[in-house]
């Protein structure tokens, strides 16, 4: 057996800084959401739904000159069509920022398989699927439940707690640390990585490069530790995995780990937080769920529909006229699953949260080939987090609605959520 | 009634086997599978319709027998 020396040298050394395209950073209040939208401004973070509803009515494919140019479809049918159309829309970048990676990064992209296009996408995704089936993630339920109980044990004596900071964020952090085989005490670092990747999109490019460098430094450290001491976890699995008869490129191993760490944490943290926020401000729904715990699986899907945390992005491959607008090559498309989920053409009473909604074909986990690979894990965590909370803290409400804060950018959920529990 | 899954459309969301586990199962990659021969037992029509109407990819086909 040969020694695995792929990670002895830093795989980034000797690589030229990818060229790509940078553009001017434009910030500040939006003049008109139809022609100047920005998903990172405070108004959007605080409450994007009235903006999306307004656009769906008057300008269903909005435009912006920010981020070097992009589009925002708000109708379900347009979001679905783009998600299915990998011929005209590329995933080589999926975070709408002021930097576009060069075209030759496709079809792999920086963080496969979310950043990958067909046909490579299928093969990179296939490597991950077996670890994320419903049956496989069920094995983690008992530990997740015990961990949720331990977080609530920590509330002992408190009248007010921050459900985002002291509860929601820790659950996916612990689960992902366990799955990847990272030290559980590194949680605060994960939070930093998440904020850098998803919320820092308007920072100067040098700062963004330095931030991503820190994430990959950390991952390389973990990879080397696993090469020296292999374990039964996803990091060792990826180090050993083969594609086309060869071990993976070092950048593929690290890129997929980056994806799992970032996408596995912020998203579920947001879904748990948004669900608790809804229940805190809607006593009738809270009381009904406490009285009828069997309704939770249905209610949870409604929270996922109404407060879908995740928006993706695509890049237009070539100039084209698409459903009434002139898209240019390398224009961004902000693929808003939250907006699609509130389209009245697709859902009855789309703007209402109906916790016993029986037909709910929502797109919170995406549509088409990029369906969230962690959706079964996210659903398990969300269900367990809400079950334990409702069992232990059946009575709660917003301590002060004006202090609730929401993450800006493409993953939206509460970041400060003070609840009165005593 | 019979249930079928269009494998070209199924992306492994798993709504069918979440909602109607008597009629659907998952394969080793999480894609939906029809349990057995897909014939819906008496009284199972509602479960079949719930699964079909919640599939985000519209991958479930209900075949009504004459």
- Using a 10 angstrom Cβ sphere, with 0-12 exposed, 13-18 middle and 19 or more buried, the burial of residue A348 is exposed
| CA distance linking residue A406 with residue A309, whole number of Å | 11
Question: Domain B2-63: which topology?
Answer: Alpha-Beta Plaits (3.30.70)
Chain B contact present for A125, CB below 8 A: no
pLDDT at A45: 96
Chain B contact present for A294, CB below 8 A: no
Name chain B contacts of A359, Cβ cutoff 8 Å. 50, 53-54
The nearest CA of chain B is from the CA of A378 a distance in Å of 12
Chain B contact present for A398, CB below 8 A: no
pLDDT at A11: 86
Whether B26 and A361 lie within 8 Å, measured CB to CB: no
What letter does residue A200 receive in the DSSP assignment?
Answer: -
Q: Is A371 helix (H, G, I), strand (E, B) or coil?
A: coil
User: Chain-wide mean pLDDT for chain A?
Assistant: 96
| Angle (CA) A290 A144 A300, round 5° | 40
| CA distance linking residue A42 with residue A109, whole number of Å | 30
Chain B contact present for A371, CB below 8 A: yes
pLDDT at A14: 73
Interhelix angle A375-392/A296-306, rounded to 10 degrees, is: 120
Mean pLDDT over A200-208 rounds to 88
Q: Classify residue A13: in a domain, yes or no.
A: no
pLDDT in tens, chain B (66 residues): 999 999 999 999 999 999 999 999 999 999 999 999 999 999 999 999 999 999 999 999 999 875
Q: Which residue of B has its CA nearest to A125?
A: B29
Q: Which residue of B has its CA nearest to A302?
A: B54
- ipTM for this model: 0.97
Question: Which tens digit of pLDDT belongs to each residue from A152-202?
Answer: 999 999 999 999 999 999 999 999 999 999 999 998 899 999 988 888 889
**What CATH number is associated with residue A74?**
1.10.630.10
Chain B contact present for A210, CB below 8 A: no
Number of H-type helices and E-type strands within chain B: 2, 4
Q: Which domain holds residue A101?
A: 21-420
Please say if the pLDDT value at position A55 is more than 80: yes
Best of B7, B13, B19, B31 to mutate (most A CBs within 10 Å, chain A): B13
Q: Classify residue A7: in a domain, yes or no.
A: no
Tell me if A319 sits within 8 A of A327, measured CB to CB: yes
Q: Classify residue A364: in a domain, yes or no.
A: yes
Chain A contact present for B14, CB below 8 A: yes
Quickly state the pLDDT bin for A205 (edges 50, 70, 90): confident
CB contacts < 8 A (A, B): 50
| CA distance linking residue A419 with residue B17, whole number of Å | 35
Domains of chain B: which residue ranges? 2-63
Closest Cα to residue A368, out of A35, A18, A87? A87
pLDDT at A17: 65
Tell me if A417 sits within 8 A of A164, measured CB to CB: yes
Mean pLDDT over A77-90 rounds to 98
| CA distance linking residue A303 with residue A292, whole number of Å | 16
Instruction: Look at chain A and report how many structural domains it folds into.
Output: 1
Chain A contact present for B24, CB below 8 A: no
Q: Classify residue A16: in a domain, yes or no.
A: no
The nearest CA of chain B is from the CA of A362 a distance in Å of 6
Q: Which residue of B has its CA nearest to A370?
A: B11
| Residue of B13, B28, B50 lying closest to A365 (CB–CB) | B13
| Angle (CA) A301 A272 A81, round 5° | 45
Please say if the pLDDT value at position A132 is more than 80: yes
Quickly state the pLDDT bin for A48 (edges 50, 70, 90): very high
Q: Which residue of A has its CA nearest to B56?
A: A361
């Amino acid at each position: 057996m040969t020694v695995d020396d792929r990670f002895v040298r830093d795989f980034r050394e000797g690589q030229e800084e990818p060229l790509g395209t940078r553009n001017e950073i434009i910030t500040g209040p939006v003049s008109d959401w139809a022609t100047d939208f920005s998903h990172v401004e405070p108004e959007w973070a605080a409450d994007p739904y009235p903006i999306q509803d307004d656009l769906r009515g008057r300008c269903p494919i909005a435009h912006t000159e920010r981020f070097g140019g992009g589009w925002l479809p708000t109708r379900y049918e347009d979001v679905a069509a783009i998600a299915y159309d990998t011929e005209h829309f590329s995933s080589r970048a999926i975070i709408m920022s002021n930097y576009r990676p060069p075209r030759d990064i496709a079809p792999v992209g920086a963080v496969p398989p979310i950043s990958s296009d067909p046909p490579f996408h299928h093969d990179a995704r296939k490597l991950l699927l077996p670890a994320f089936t419903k049956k496989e993630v069920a094995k983690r339920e008992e530990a997740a439940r015990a961990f949720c109980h331990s977080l609530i044990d920590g509330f002992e004596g408190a009248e007010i707690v921050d459900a985002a900071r002291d509860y929601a964020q820790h659950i996916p952090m612990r689960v992902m640390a366990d799955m990847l085989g990272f030290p559980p005490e590194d949680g605060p670092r994960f939070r930093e990585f998440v904020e850098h990747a998803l919320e820092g999109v308007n920072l100067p490019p040098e700062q963004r490069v330095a931030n991503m460098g820190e994430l990959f430094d950390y991952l390389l450290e973990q990879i080397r530790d696993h090469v020296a001491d292999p374990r039964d976890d996803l990091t060792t699995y990826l180090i050993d995995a083969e594609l086309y008869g060869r071990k993976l490129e070092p950048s593929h191993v690290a890129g997929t780990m980056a994806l799992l760490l970032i996408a596995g944490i912020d998203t579920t943290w947001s879904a748990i937080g948004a669900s608790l926020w809804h229940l805190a401000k809607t006593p009738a729904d809270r009381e009904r769920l406490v009285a009828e715990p069997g309704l939770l699986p249905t209610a949870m899907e409604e929270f996922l529909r109404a407060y879908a945390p995740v928006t993706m992005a695509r890049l237009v491959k070539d100039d084209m006229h698409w459903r009434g607008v002139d898209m240019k090559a390398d224009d961004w498309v902000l693929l808003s699953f939250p907006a699609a989920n509130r389209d009245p053409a697709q859902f009855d009473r789309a703007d209402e949260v109906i916790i016993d909604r029986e037909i709910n074909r929502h797109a919170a986990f995406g549509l088409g080939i990029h369906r969230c690979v962690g959706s079964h894990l996210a659903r398990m965590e969300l269900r367990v987090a809400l079950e334990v909370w409702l069992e232990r803290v059946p009575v709660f409400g917003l301590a002060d609605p004006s202090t609730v804060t929401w993450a800006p950018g493409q993953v939206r959920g509460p970041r400060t959520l003070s609840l009165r529990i005593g | 009634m019979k249930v079928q899954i269009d494998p070209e459309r199924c992306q492994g969301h798993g709504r069918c086997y979440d909602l109607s586990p008597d009629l659907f199962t998952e394969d080793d990659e999480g894609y939906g599978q029809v349990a057995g021969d897909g014939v819906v037992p008496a009284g199972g029509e509602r479960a079949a319709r719930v699964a079909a109407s919640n599939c985000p990819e519209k991958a479930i086909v209900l075949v009504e027998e004459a």
